Amino acid sequence: MARWREQVIAAGWMVLMWNLLWGRFSLGNLVGGLLVAVAVLVFFPLPPVTLDARLRPVALLDLTVRFVAELVTASVHVAWVAVRPGYRPRSAIIAVELRVRTDLNLALTAELLSLVPGTLILDVDRKAGVLYVHVFDVRGTGNLTRSRRRIRDVERRLLRAIGSPAEVRLLTSHPVEEGPNR
């Protein structure tokens, strides 16, 4: 019963959050948090999320460091375009086929992408695993190829950090063809 494991993990997170909100760890907060967590899980059941993740510390650190660096570059870039006088940024919408198929990892990839340079998810085709991405401040087609590669890089780093063994195997068995379309 894998459902059990996920429920316990969710409850653990909620207890931790409850303690953080109160600002200190105590027996009372632990009990209160547990009561709240159980109530939430009983009264607001969520659709099952398959957790088939392996945490790989080194890859996770790599993902985090890169993410922070890209968040900074993205923010400065968008901020600069915003205040630059008389400049009108051009943009594009591209479809990128991903190799991730699990909902959780697809969601996490989309989350990370929304915070890195010039990309924003407009729509998701869950069945085909395709993300429709809005690219900000495009200058020519070379830029789009770069954006595609960057999106795949984010996906690869995420899978290396927390993907299931099967997903990591996909990375090597499905090298992605570089082309103007998909």
Partner 1 sequence: MTGGAVVAAGAAGTLAVGGVAAAGAVAVGGLTGTGVADLLAGGCLLAGAVLSLAAGIGVLRLPSTVDRIHAVTKPQVLGMLLILLGLTLRLRNPADLGMLLLVGLFQLATAPVTAQMIGRAAYRSNGVDRELLDTDELA
Binding site residues, partner 1, CB under 8 A: 17, 19-24, 71-72, 74-83, 88-95, 110-115, 118, 120-124, 132, 134, 136, 138, 141, 144, 181
CB-nearer residue toward partner 1: 95 or 171: 95
Nearer to partner 1, 25 or 39 (CB): 25
> In terms of Cα–Cα distance, which of 70, 72, 76 is closest to 154?
70
Of 115 and 171, CB closest to partner 1: 115
- The smaller minimum CB distance to partner 1, of residues 8 and 20, is found at 20
Q: Shortest approach of partner 1 to residue 19 CB, angstroms?
A: 7
Those residues whose C-beta lies under 8 Å from the C-beta of residue 51, and which sit 6 or more positions away, are 2, 5, 6, 9, 104
With vertex at residue 97, the alpha carbon angle to CA 92 and CA 98, rounded to the nearest 5 degrees, is 120
For the bound state, the minimum distance from the C-beta of residue 102 to partner 1, rounded and expressed in Å, comes to 18
Least Å distance, CB 1 to partner 1, is 28
Write down the residue that tokens 């690869």 correspond to: 156
Neighbours of 102 (CB within 10 A): 19
13 C-beta neighbours (distance < 10 Å), count: 11
Give me the least distance between CB of 87 and partner 1, in Å please: 10
